[in-house]
Amino acid sequence: MESCHFINDSSEAFDANETAIVLRGSGDVNSSPLLPFGDHRHHYLDRRVQRYAALSPPPGLANLPSLRDPRHGHLISYYCERLCPLTVTSHQRTSPFYSLIMPFCTSASSVVSDALLALSARHLSRTDSTWAITAVKLENRVLRDLRQRLAIAKPSEIWQDHELPVVMMLMCLYEILNRCDQRWVVHLKGARDLIRARRTTSGRNPSQQDSINELTRFAERFFAFQDVIGRTACGETPIFGSDYWDASDQSIDAWLGCSPALVSIVCSVTELSRSKNRDYNSTTSNDFAVQAAALESDLSGLQQVVSAGSHDELLLRSAEIKRMASKIYLYCALYGASPCMQIIKDSVRQVLREASRFLNESVAAGMVWPLFVAAVELDPLEDELWTDETTGHPVYGRALVLRMLEHMGTTSIANVTRTREVICKIWNARDMAMAGDESSVSASSSKPLLDDDWDRFVAPVSSNISLA
């Protein structure tokens, strides 16, 4: 935190070369850089009043955030109507990105609303490149304002600044959408330093509004979840520990798409796998076997539930598909299971069937991790999964995964491009290994080739990937 590295690391996004590339690919952006889309894909923004002053607050909000440029009101509309619903696996629950962040923006400084606008513009740029330059400009403004604030603030003021975690969370998502490289992880590390300092000095501040404390807790959970789920792929050193997850809490969180208890199990599986890889002999130890068996038992017996008095089928199904994906991950990371084993084949089919059901219902929130886990453990020698009941044609695993990823490109906030790139690298490594060429596998890994399928094929190419 003292060097503000999480701010400085991202400043290169506004260099002249990148800006020139964006401008060349976006047409005459100066003529109408902030106008809404005119095509049928974004009818909810078509023909809207072009002035922010004419926009009405979304349901549940008394006011809209004050913006430096009134034309950016269209990005607020996009954030509320398009982006927030993509963050929860439920039609009945409101996203915390809406219920917590939007009210906060109405009283927060402009740096918070600018971060929200930057995220919205970055997501819009997926389908219309004319928004890319707007996103870069807004990002640059946020980083500049944060540097100025941190340069003059005392350490105690930084720790107590409840706007910082929110801005860092939004900019973390921005970097995930943008490139999904090491820069989003830098935001995780900055958030960890900030949260640790806050917990050490004050902890929960009872004098603050409950809404502020709730927003702070959500930001902490956001960063911790990104860390846990991302590290399942690469097995790197944790940034956030297991103390952020209550192993006894089986209530399904709409944003997590599962229960904190399940996340706690996944976190423990990752750490046990890391301890195994540090000491290869530990795989035969009684201690390792006891811990692995306990985690397997906890996972099998986990009963995730929605809050009392409600029934949400989508949430229940989301929690179950993540539990099934966790089962695949546990067997591969701890027991060295591989795609050719029947238990993995059956579990992969289950996950992909359920994931395709979600996407057919236009629900993609939280699906990237289950899809990733199933995709990287597809058996290259047995790619036919089932027969389509409607067409009678066989369904092939790799083609199905690629189709689902393409669909998720506009129905999720995940970086599908990076996810697809990693999955294809793993498929290629498996194919090369079958052909007797191990160079593509070993060249990208500093570790010796192990019998552990996950450590051999998945971890070497999955650094800095976001799967939450």
How does pLDDT run across 449-463, given as a tens digit for each residue?
445 899 999 999 999
Residue pointed to by tokens 């990937």 = 465
3 state SS of 179: coil
**238 part of a folded domain:** no
Rounded to whole angstroms, the Cα distance separating 134 from 371 reads 32
Read off the pLDDT of each residue in 324-336 and give the average, rounded to a whole number.
96
Task: Please answer whether residues 116 and 142 qualify as being in contact, where contact means their C-beta atoms are separated by less than 8 angstroms.
Answer: no
For residue 205, pLDDT beyond 60: no
Asked if residue 355 lies in contact with residue 370, where contact means CB atoms within 8 angstroms, the answer is yes
Domain boundary among 320, 335, 350: 335
Same domain, 329 and 427: no
Tally of domains within the chain? 3
DSSP summary character for residue 455: I
Q: Are residues 304 and 360 in the same domain?
A: no
- How far is it, in rounded angstroms, from Cα 291 to Cα 452? 18
Does residue 197 sit in the same domain as residue 272? no
Q: Is 416 left (phi over 0), alpha (psi -120 to 50) or beta?
A: alpha
- The predicted structure's pLDDT at residue 32: 31
Please report whether residue 207 resides in a domain: yes
Rounded average pLDDT over 380-391 = 92
Q: What is the per-residue DSSP string for 57-114? A: PPTT-S-PPP-SSGGGHHHHHHIIIIIGGGG-S-SSS--HHHHTHHHHHTTS-HHHHH
Confidence of residue 151 (pLDDT cuts 50, 70, 90): confident
Ordered DSSP codes for 381-419: T--EEEE-TTT--EEEHHHHHHHHHHHHHHH-SS-HHHH
Round to whole Å and give the CA distance between 152 and 147.
Answer: 9
Instruction: Centre a 10 Å sphere on the Cβ of residue 55 and count the other Cβ atoms it contains.
Output: 16
- Mean pLDDT calculated for residue range 221-244: 92
What does the pLDDT read at residue 437? 64
The residues near 299 (Cβ < 8 Å, ≥ 6 apart) are 262, 265, 323, 326, 327, 330
In a domain, 453, yes or no: yes
256 or 53, greater pLDDT: 256
Domain identity same for 274 and 358: no
Asked if residue 133 and residue 85 are part of one domain, the reply reads yes
- Tell which wins on pLDDT, 42 or 284: 284
CA dihedral 355, 321, 413, 179 (to 10 degrees): -90
> Average pLDDT of 128-156?
90
**Lowest mean pLDDT: which of 1-5, 45-49, 450-454?**
45-49
Do the domain assignments include residue 17? yes
Task: Examine residue 237 and state whether it is found in any structural domain, yes or no.
Answer: no
Instruction: Evaluate whether residue 445 is within a structural domain.
Output: yes
Are 131 and 24 found together in one domain? yes
Say if 239 falls within a structural domain: no
Query: Domain boundary at 195, 227, 259, which?
Result: 227
Q: Which two tokens stand for residue 216?
A: 């702070």
Give residue 271's identity as a one-letter amino acid code.
E
Residues in CB range of 79: below 8 A, 6 or more apart: 116, 117, 119, 120
Residue 373 · residue 329 · CB < 8 Å: yes
Contacts of 281 (CB under 8 A, 6+ apart): none
111: which 2 tokens?
């740096």
What average pLDDT does the segment 166-180 reach? 93
Q: State whether 466 and 356 are in the same domain.
A: yes
157 and 108 fall within a common domain: yes
Tally the C-alpha atoms within 13 A of residue 105's C-alpha that lie toward its C-beta: 28
Choosing from 282, 310, 335, the residue where a domain stops is 335
The pTM for the full model equals 0.84
Count how many Cα atoms sit within 13 Å of the Cα of residue 18 in the half-sphere of its side chain. 15
Nearest C-alpha neighbor of 467 from the set 347, 367, 338: 367
Range of the domain at 359: 339-468
According to DSSP, the residues that pair with 395 across neighbouring strands are 386
328 and 350 part of one domain? no
Residue 233 forms part of a structural domain:
no
Structure tokens of 28?
């005459």
The answer on 143 and 116 residing in a single domain is yes
The two three-digit tokens of residue 109, written as one number: 């400084």
- 326 in the same domain as 438: no
Considering the domain architecture, whether residues 264 and 281 belong to the same structural domain is answered as: yes
